[in-house]
């Protein structure tokens, strides 16, 4: 079988973690799988792709353009994976991905109708964002999440390990009632719960190829996109001492960014900080909002003297503000930990441009 599935969903819903967990699980129990990380930065290293490969996952990246608009590049990559024996390939999409059903699935079906089978268009949501939708207090970010869910063939409520069974069932039922076109599954990518059900749903299911009633030129959607800035930073650092804690260093950067954006009245749905040393040890820290605790996804296991760092962020604030905040956070944290940082690459742009 040659099955391709796109994973959409709000920032911080766990798309990368789920794709990694599912790629491992499917390969261990059913066949061979792979994942693609996609983002808009020109020639950048994606934290998601580097994390996946450091973790031993069959993965690659497509940058410079959304897969919505580079069907030839995407098809070549997919065929390479399928020719290598993969049955299932997963890909995310940049930013919020509203319109990906139309641009990716319908575009591929039109240009390459017999190349491979399109699986259910899958949208991930986490309990916190589901709760915001239910209360109607999610603002224009909620408008984007609603539009994503309108496109879904399959809705995956992730992080179910964080909820009591009654809460989980209430969220699942609410999603099923408000988005009846989609099947709703509950999983925990962190614990592996529900991955078998998700594997079967993807492999047995097919894309509906619907045309949902979404106005992609709507002023509310455009207003939400206009507020968002994407940021990519890559740098190398030399460490002066042998007791350096790379995880605490990354957490310090995240804390400083969080404090500065909160003080300015801005929001940051997701910032990923990944660091690794030449021997392959690595650490990853996530910031999922100015009012949420900083999450350590993976800790360094030992001190290091050389460090490469990739920072990818999406924030609801002007590009110039985000650039100033992140540069200051990196410089101040590097001084605190006595690192000599050497900038390799930086990109910062507004999604609405």
What pLDDT is recorded for position 39?
87
Domains, the chain, ordered by start:
3-220 (3.40.50.300), 228-350 (3.30.70.360)
Q: What mean pLDDT, rounded, does the chain reach?
A: 91
How confident is residue 114, by pLDDT bands cut at 50, 70 and 90? Answer: confident
DSSP 8-state code for residue 106: I
Mean pLDDT over 200-219 rounds to: 84
Q: Is 134 helix (H, G, I), strand (E, B) or coil?
A: helix
Residue 202 clears pLDDT 80, i.e. is over it: yes
Rounded Cα gap, residues 208 and 171, in angstroms: 24
Rg (CA), the chain: 20
Query: Residue 207: which of 2, 4, 1 has the closest Cα?
Result: 4
196: tokens are: 């078998």
Considering the chain, what percentage of its residues have pLDDT values greater than 70? 94
DSSP state letters, 53-91: HHTT--EEEE-SS-TTS-HHHHHHHHHHHHHTT-SEEEE
Mean pLDDT over 321-350 rounds to: 94
- Sequence-ordered alpha helix ranges (H) in 117-164: 127-135, 139-151
Report yes or no: 157 and 172 within 8 Å, Cβ to Cβ.
Answer: yes
Q: Can you tell me which residue has the tokens 């940082």?
A: 341
Residue 231 clears pLDDT 80, i.e. is over it: yes
Provide the β-strand partners of residue 14. Answer: none
5: tokens are: 């599935």
Q: Say which residue, 257 or 279, is predicted with more confidence.
A: 257
pLDDT tens-place string over residues 11-43 = 789 999 999 999 999 999 999 999 999 987 777
What pLDDT is recorded for position 285?
98
pLDDT tens-place string over residues 129-183 = 888 788 776 556 677 788 889 999 999 999 999 989 999 999 999 999 999 999 9
What pLDDT is recorded for position 220?
60
**Taking phi first (over 0 means left), then psi (-120 to 50 degrees means alpha), and beta for anything else, what does residue 12 get?**
left
pTM above 0.75, yes or no: yes
């Amino acid at each position: 079988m040659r099955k391709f599935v796109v994973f959409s969903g709000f920032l911080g819903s766990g798309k990368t973690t789920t794709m990694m967990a599912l790629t491992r699980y499917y390969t261990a129990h059913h066949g061979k799988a792979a994942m693609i990380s996609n983002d808009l930065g020109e020639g950048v290293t994606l934290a998601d792709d580097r994390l996946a490969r450091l973790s031993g996952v069959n993965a690659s990246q497509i940058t410079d353009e959304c897969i919505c608009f580079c069907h030839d590049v995407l098809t070549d990559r997919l065929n390479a994976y399928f020719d290598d024996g993969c049955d299932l390939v997963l890909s995310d999409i940049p930013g919020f991905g509203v319109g990906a059903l139309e641009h990716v699935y319908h575009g591929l079906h039109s240009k390459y109708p017999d190349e491979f089978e399109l699986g259910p268009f899958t949208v991930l949501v986490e309990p916190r964002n589901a709760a915001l939708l239910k209360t109607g207090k999610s603002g224009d970010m909620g408008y984007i999440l609603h539009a994503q869910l309108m496109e879904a063939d399959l809705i995956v409520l992730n992080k179910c390990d964080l909820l009591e069974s009654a809460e989980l069932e209430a969220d699942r039922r609410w999603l099923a009632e408000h988005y009846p076109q989609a099947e709703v599954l509950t999983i925990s990518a962190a614990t592996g719960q529900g991955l078998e059900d998700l594997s079967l749903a993807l492999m047995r299911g097919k894309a509906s190829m619907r045309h949902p009633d979404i106005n992609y030129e709507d002023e509310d959607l455009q207003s939400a996109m206009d507020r968002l800035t994407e940021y990519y930073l890559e740098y190398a650092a030399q460490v002066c001492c042998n007791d350096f804690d790379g995880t605490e260093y990354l957490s310090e950067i995240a804390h400083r960014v969080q404090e500065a954006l909160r003080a300015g009245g801005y929001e940051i749905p997701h910032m990923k900080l990944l660091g690794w040393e030449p021997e392959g040890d690595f650490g990853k820290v996530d910031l999922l909002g100015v009012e949420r605790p900083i999450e350590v996804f993976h800790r360094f296991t030992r001190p290091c003297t050389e460090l490469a760092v990739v920072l990818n962020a999406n924030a609801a604030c002007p590009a110039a503000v985000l650039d100033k905040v992140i540069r200051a956070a990196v410089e101040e944290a590097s001084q605190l930990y006595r690192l000599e940082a050497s900038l390799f690459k930086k990109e910062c742009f507004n999604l609405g441009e």
